[in-house]
């Protein structure tokens, strides 16, 4: 039986590397070219995705959200110089998530999430994983738009393409 939070996490990892692969085909300057969009540059968008993914990982591993948010503010501001650097940090974080997921026996268990922007609620671990994936999907869409604004084609990184790109168990 498919564990959908894990499946979606695997999709998120694949999609991050797919968009990074496309950016890597272009001039290195594309990371730092300014564009009138949600983020000033593609590098800023990538740093934001990474920072938020890190924040949610910290929450999943027991850090309170206010503290996790504070710890990751510097990551949001840290702009890297190359696609390879972004690929490396995303890969490292993905490995941490994979290890954490492998050690979870019940992703439906809840934690008390103290979200400084929305309040306190009981939240399933699976909801947090799915939210992190959804957040990444949203901002990869921003990056695709930014690439087009800069005169470049993006690349398809939809979940439905992931089904065909990554071997899965027979249904």
Q: What is the pLDDT of residues 15-63, one digit of tens each?
A: 999 999 999 999 999 999 999 999 999 999 999 999 999 999 999 999 9
SS3 98: helix
Inside any domain, residue 84 = yes
C-alpha to C-alpha distance for 77 and 49, rounded to whole angstroms: 11
Q: Which residue ranges are tagged as binding site?
A: 48, 135, 139
Both tokens assigned to 115: 């979200």
Inside any domain, residue 101 = yes
Inside any domain, residue 109 = yes
158: left (phi over 0), alpha (psi -120 to 50) or beta: beta
Domain with 126, as residue range(s), is: 4-165
Check if the beta carbon of residue 24 is closer than 8 Å to that of residue 55: no
Both tokens assigned to 119: 């309040």
Q: How confident is the model at residue 167 (pLDDT cuts 50, 70, 90)?
A: confident
* Nearest in space to 38 (alpha carbons), one of 159, 146, 153, 120: 146
CATH assignment of the domain containing 92 = 1.20.120.450
Inside any domain, residue 170 = no
Inside any domain, residue 171 = no
Inside any domain, residue 71 = yes
Inside any domain, residue 120 = yes
Stated pTM of the model = 0.95
Structural domain total, the chain: 1
3-state secondary structure 5-31: HHHHHHHHHHHHHHHHHHHHCCCHHHH
Q: What is the pLDDT of residues 94-150, one digit of tens each?
A: 999 999 999 999 999 999 999 999 999 999 999 999 999 999 999 999 999 999 999
What is the per-residue pLDDT for 166? 76
Q: Which residue ranges are tagged as binding site for a divalent metal cation?
A: 48, 135, 139
Q: List all residues 6 or more positions away from 15 whose beta carbon is below 8 Å from its beta carbon.
A: 136, 137, 140, 157, 159, 162
C-alpha to C-alpha distance for 23 and 118, rounded to whole angstroms: 34
Q: List all residues 6 or more positions away from 115 whose beta carbon is below 8 Å from its beta carbon.
A: 65, 121
């Amino acid at each position: 039986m498919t564990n959908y939070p894990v499946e979606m996490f695997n999709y998120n990892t694949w999609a991050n590397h797919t968009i990074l692969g496309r950016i890597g085909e272009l001039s290195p300057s594309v990371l730092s070219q300014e564009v009138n969009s949600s983020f000033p540059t593609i590098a800023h968008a990538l740093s934001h995705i990474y920072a938020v993914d890190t924040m949610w990982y910290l929450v999943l591993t027991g850090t309170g959200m206010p503290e996790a948010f504070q710890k990751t503010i510097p990551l949001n501001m840290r702009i890297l110089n190359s696609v390879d650097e972004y690929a490396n940090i995303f890969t490292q974080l993905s490995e941490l998530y994979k290890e954490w997921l492998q050690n979870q026996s019940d992703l439906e268990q809840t934690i008390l999430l103290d979200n400084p922007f929305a309040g306190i609620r009981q939240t399933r671990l699976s909801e947090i994983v799915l939210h992190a994936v959804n957040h990444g999907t949203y901002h990869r869409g921003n990056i695709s738009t930014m690439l087009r604004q800069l005169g470049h084609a993006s690349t398809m990184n939809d979940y439905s393409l992931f089904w065909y790109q990554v071997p899965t168990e027979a249904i």
